[in-house]
Chains A and B, each alone.
Chain A
């Protein structure tokens, strides 16, 4: 230091935190990441690439796959017989981003086709396994112990909470993805969509339809928003 300074920090160079407080989780995340990079477990470049992979995934390719299957019986047959080949036609290569798939989603993908009288719904009772390469990141509720504990045992009640009431002549089939297979639902094409284009059809296939907690419906292009019942004994406002 050539110049004299009354205190020992440089105002211009002090990095202001973006938030008032950094959480324990953030402190540990930084510690772990920096140690891994320092020890060569992975590189900063690999961390960036995987983060970018995780940020660009979403349910759009899966919705597109369903729309294509509705319009093209040959593609539908391919989707059911060789789902990972069919995935490539909507831009998803299950071997990405590592060359052998993601380490946690594997490369055993299966598409569960609903039929008249059969409805599929998926869950991972053990954790939160989800077909991320084609469906994006799992919703928060999908990871909760609540959904995982209840769906396998009371599927109709859970579906009803999502606003999906299935008649008794429809078999509800819960698929628990507890090993290397990942699943998505191929719902049936709803009435009132005659002559629709692939884009129009893909728009009504929401993430919830692909998990099986909703059915596609003309005019509905976002996930389920449930009309919740008012509480029977509401807390009085003071």
Chain B
């Protein structure tokens, strides 16, 4: 019991209460770089200790299926970096046959996964 206002570990609760997470980061990432339908390629960024971008999509080209929300990237959040800047997240759709050599389903089968903006570049 007592006054938790200055307790550091209460910070996230205090700023997100009533808004939710990632709702609390809305409006903090500026204009999104990509729009629904854009063709994007997943960059092969170095991964030191942590990432949430699956290996199976690195280097693959897909298209933006949804502009999701703004949030600090998991790569920063997981280390509780205080200066982490929110960025846009996107649901990216891939054709399964582009991801897996010898994919055994149909040519129309797809996979969708969510990726922060830093991992994406214009396909070309």
Contact = CB atoms under 8 A, between A and B. Distances in A.
A108 B22 contact: yes
B71 interface: yes
A157 interface: yes
A174 B110 contact: yes
Given A100-B21, A180-B21, A152 B111 contact: yes
A171 B113 CA distance: 16
A222 interface: no
Contacts of A58: none
Contact of B105 (A94, A108, A110, A156): A156
Interface in A97-153: 98-101, 106-108, 110, 125-126, 152-153
A interface secondary structure, majority: loop
A153 B100 contact: yes
A189 B96 CA distance: 27
B100 A107 contact: no
Contact-size category for A: 20 to 34
Given A95-B18, A172-B109, A174-B112, A181 B68 contact: yes
A152 B112 CA distance: 10
A178 interface: yes
Interface of B: 9, 12-13, 16-24, 52-54, 56, 66, 68-69, 71, 74, 89, 91, 93, 96, 99-100, 103-106, 108-116
Nearest to A167: B106
A154 B115 CA distance: 22
A100 to B, nearest CB: 4
B3 to A, nearest CB: 13
Given A100-B18, A108-B68, A173-B110, 15 more contacts: A100-B13, A101-B16, A106-B22, A107-B23, A153-B100, A157-B104, A171-B106, A171-B110, A172-B109, A172-B110, A174-B96, A177-B114, A179-B74, A180-B22, A180-B114
A176 B60 CA distance: 15
- List 4 A-B pairs, minimum CB-CB distance, nearest first: A107-B20, A100-B16, A99-B17, A179-B114
A175 interface: yes
A178 B114 contact: yes
Contact of A168 (B89, B91, B106, B110): B106
Contacts of A107: 20-23
